[in-house]
Structure 1
């Protein structure tokens, strides 16, 4: 009887074991399906947010209102102490979407210092942070910059450069024209630009957990030259992500400067597009220029991308249009290894030339580019005319548009001749030598003394001493813009719960197997030899 009982018990154990194993096998497809469902749901969320951003926050075919309301004393303190870039609590209505407990502050670098020195203007750029005090976001975005169009009589330079970047597939922040109101009073006509953060990274890279750095002129290493394997030496590469594996950054810089396997650590094609973007628009307020700033580096699974940022000085705003496409630096080419090393590779240089050709023969072709500027002029001219704090008169705005058109037409012809080997595309390695004043294309052909705000000339000074010269009247170090990294909020919505049904099934099966083992050991004993 006892033997029969053991036999029945063993049979029952075997049956339960078969059921348990089957449960494990079924759990795997379930987990896969649930993961796929979660991924699909997240993709739909990103897609839905992006559609809302394009239609309600950053439309390209209309001007939206941004209304900021805050304590008048706080606003006056913000303006009186603009260099402190201190957040103040405000309510914001962005194209009809209302938020309370929003943080607002002044922002900028050269533009901020320049306006601080003006006695007849307080037209600062502003940063809106939706999640500084509470967990909230605007369709996933937590921070938006309201740029004052400093040094751009046409109001279009940054807008057009971002459009050009988009046309060649560069990851580009969202942007649009806005009318900014403070306490129900029109402050000015601005350009809104999404801060590079979690939402931007999720859209363009499918994740936001990589290391994010910003190149700033206040430290060393933003030229990406090799300073050694100590990460603390690279003070010009300011970390904007919550954390980073510094070894990855050092590995990239080491390979760029001392190796040849660039594609192991760098998105080469994207880097070539970035170089071309700044070269064809003669934007020296970038990695190409003497200040080697205004760019981001993002590390995605060990590979770095260089991201476009800050283009109010594009179209020659910091110098002439004499750009050598194979030596497009303001200073020695060797001091910009990302350019020097990539363009020393014949395959990469050929690809770079293709990108330059595509830009000047499509988006920047005379008919296309000038027609686009005319479209924008039709859309924004009435807002420019009504701008109460404009740096320029409306007549200077009109001249600025003509100047940018002329600049780009001449620039495109120059670049095409270089591509066709009619004129040299490189020199002796000393760079394109673009120094000089801040007039030209960026000012829309308006001399500095002709600005509406007469103190602007003194504040802006001019770039002296040739390549890499500092702003003549500014002096001293720049004021870091102080972005607080990608910011919280991520893509918005509730946090996902940890675990899922498949994990529960697997845990239950494991417990059942342990129970069966215990029963087996208890009731079935081997005979001694």
Structure 2
């Protein structure tokens, strides 16, 4: 009996020490290690956390960046170097120190650098200087300047359509950026394709990840042989890869017929459909054959949607042929040509198009959604100090976006019904004449919204009068005699983007948008700790209560 009395007190003391240990080891801080986040994986819904704390679609969150004035000035003046600078950020109330920030983009970065604007897109890298630092599990977020999109809606709407179609889509939302307490601009935040995205969509991060870029060869996915170096425009983004799976996929796609063995066929068809539905020629469909990722999961590749600021006709491509939707020969895009040769796959693809134009893109639904979004963003657009366009041009851009969608949906519907052709002679149908950037004006016309051929209305194709009408586009403001509209430089790299159609929608001259960068990291940490704090506190209180009951019971037994 002499040993019974100390036992409950020893147990009580142990519990107190345990609680102290949890607190002292960061149990109540915002940052959790990957082991801790794994322990609570069953109670924390990653999607819900991201949608609520980082990417809420029903409100605009503040992103407050604090950076040394000289560092920020150097970042702006030397944006093309894409050099990271040290900064701190308060992202929707969540504070992180020692992050990296740099300018980002492809031709959009070059284009902005050739103007008086300082409105660059930015990449925030939360683990650039501190290993395992994340924001709700994300290591990187892109802040896109919505270059060449006076409506501020193209990319948001396209990603939302992709979600509605069931495609693996990065998170996205509108943000108001402040730099050193001064409002910088109204941007679109987009999750970086990386570990967090892969874990959420594929339940793993171990596969091969490639990003299709303009420079080099191979992003058209044609067969160039077994040497992976021949596919230089498919840039590896995963930590390690033997590239065998990539070569096997390309070989089967071009030289075999068992496509489902190496491709997620439904996702591939969905990717093509998404770009046709939004007339997005700044993609695999277009001359540059870029702006997508490939991810391999157990030998099967998925094609991942990326970069949609030029959707809804921003890069030409009005009234394209749904079964021949390429800028250039269809045979040069085997992902489309080979899959659509299979009647079953073609029927699935047509069903995807039909569901979208009868659903999300139908006039009733699309106009309602656009109205909801414009009500949300109107005050932020008005107050945007670095906007590429005026507020009046924004309003006009929204109107013409709606008009373009109506016209594009009608064309797709007629092709599905068979009242107009859906394919041609194999030479492709996407408008190669551009229409992407405003060189002389900052106007807001999406191609295809003016009353006559000279003003942008569809006109008959002289070579094929039965084909869908194409929009005549004016080389308004073109100053470089060597730069024909849509003319490509070697390796399909555009020196400057094609000039705008008359009053073309978008911003300053010379270029187009793009984004990229290193992978994110899902497994590192979860930076949002409020839910976990409550769980830890609750567990501690329950243990403490049980200990008290045990002591009371023990005393009664004595």
Cα deviation code 1:412-454 (max 9, x no counterpart): 000000000000000000111412242599974179xxxxxxx
How far has the Cα of 1:41 moved from its partner? Answer: 4.7
Cα deviation code 1:291-320 (max 9, x no counterpart)? 000100000111000000000000000114
Question: Distance between the aligned counterparts of 2:252 and 2:61, measured in 1?
Answer: 46
- 1:130 counterpart = 2:131: no
1:50–1:139 CA contact under 8 A, matched in 2? no
Task: Give the drift of 1:144.
Answer: 0.2
Aligned to 2:517: 483
Aligned to 1:17: none
**1:320 touches 1:440 (CA, 8 Å); kept in 2?**
no
For residues 43-81 of structure 1, give each alpha carbon's deviation from its aligned partner in whole angstroms, at most 9, with x where no partner exists: 426x53321110111000000000111110000000110
- CA RMSD across the alignment: 2.9
* Equivalent residue number for residue 335 of structure 1: 332
- 1:444-483 equivalence runs, <5 A: 444-445=444-445, 463-465=485-487, 471=494, 473=496, 483=517
Moved more, 387-396 or 317-326: 317-326
Alignment partner of 1:57 out of 40, 50, 54: 54
1:247 aligns with 2:244: yes
> Does residue 259 in structure 1 map to residue 293 in structure 2?
no
Q: CA offsets, 1:351-408, max 9 Å, x none?
A: 0000000111100000100110000000000000000000000000000000000000
Q: In the TM superposition, what are the counterparts of 1:103-118 in structure 2 within 5 Å?
A: 103-118=100-115
Instruction: Give the C-alpha shift of residue 488 in structure 1.
Output: 7.2
TM-score by length of 2: 0.76
1:72 to 69, 73, 76: 69
Instruction: Evaluate the alpha carbon distance shift between residue 350 and residue 54 of structure 1 in structure 2; reply closer, same or farther with a 3 A threshold.
Output: same
The 5 A counterparts of 1:77-476 are 77-118=74-115, 120-134=116-130, 135-438=132-435, 444-445=444-445, 463-465=485-487, 471=494, 473=496
* Residue aligned with 1:44, SS: coil
Give the Cα separation in 2 of the matches to 1:408 and 1:179.
Answer: 27
Return the offset for 1:257: 0.3
- Mapped to 2, the partners of 1:125 and 1:40 lie a distance apart of 33
Unaligned ranges ≥5, structure 1: 1-36, 448-455, 494-529
Residues 473 and 199 from structure 1, CA distance in 2 versus in 1: closer, same or farther, beyond 3 angstroms? closer
**How far 1:489 sits from its partner (Å)?**
5.0
For 1:410 and 1:491, how far apart are their aligned partners in 2? 46
- Given candidates 41, 44, 47, the residue that maps to 2:42 is 44
- TM-score, normalisation: structure 1: 0.80
**Matched residues in 2 for 1:351 and 1:171: separation?**
18
Helix, strand or coil at the partner of 2:184 = strand
What's the secondary structure of 1:298's corresponding residue?
Answer: strand
CA contact (8 A) 2:401 2:446 kept: no
> CA 1:39–1:261 in structure 2 vs 1: closer, same or farther (change >3 Å)?
farther
Q: SS at the partner of 2:286? A: coil
Alpha-carbon distance in 1 for matches of 2:152, 2:164: 20
Higher mean C-alpha deviation, range 341-350 or range 484-493: 484-493
Offset of residue 42 of structure 1: 6.3
In 1, the alpha carbon distance for the partners of 2:224 and 2:525 equals: 37
Deviations 1:225-256 (A, max 9, x none): 10000111110100001011311110000000
Conserved? CA contact 2:437–2:511, under 8 Å: no
Match of 1:3 in 2: none
Alignment partners' CA distance in 2, 1:187 and 1:40: 37
Contact persistence 2:437–2:497 (CA under 8 A):
no
**Separation in 2, partners of 1:478, 1:215:** 16
* Deviant stretches of 4+, over 6 Å: 37-40, 440-443, 456-459, 466-469, 475-480
Counterparts in 2 of 1:228 and 1:411: CA distance versus 1, 3 Å: same
More helix by proportion, 1 or 2?
1
**CA distance in 1: counterparts of 2:494 and 2:484, whole angstroms:** 5
Q: Is the 8 A contact 1:286 1:294 kept in 2?
A: yes
Give the greater-gyration-radius structure (CA).
1
Q: Whole-Å Cα distance in 2 between the matches of residues 477 and 65 of structure 1? A: 28
Q: Do the aligned partners of residues 90 and 165 (structure 1) sit closer, same or farther apart at CA in structure 2, a change above 3 Å counting?
A: same
Q: In 2, are the aligned partners of 1:222 and 1:293 still within 8 Å (CA)? A: yes
Please list every run of 5 or more consecutive structure 2 residues that lacks an aligned counterpart in the other structure. 1-34, 448-476, 499-509, 528-558
Number of corresponding residues:
448
What CA distance in whole angstroms lies between the structure 1 residues aligned with 2:179 and 2:478?
27
Is contact 1:264–1:303 with CA below 8 Å preserved after alignment? yes
Distance 1:458 1:110, change over 3 A: farther
The CA deviation at 1:271 is: 0.4
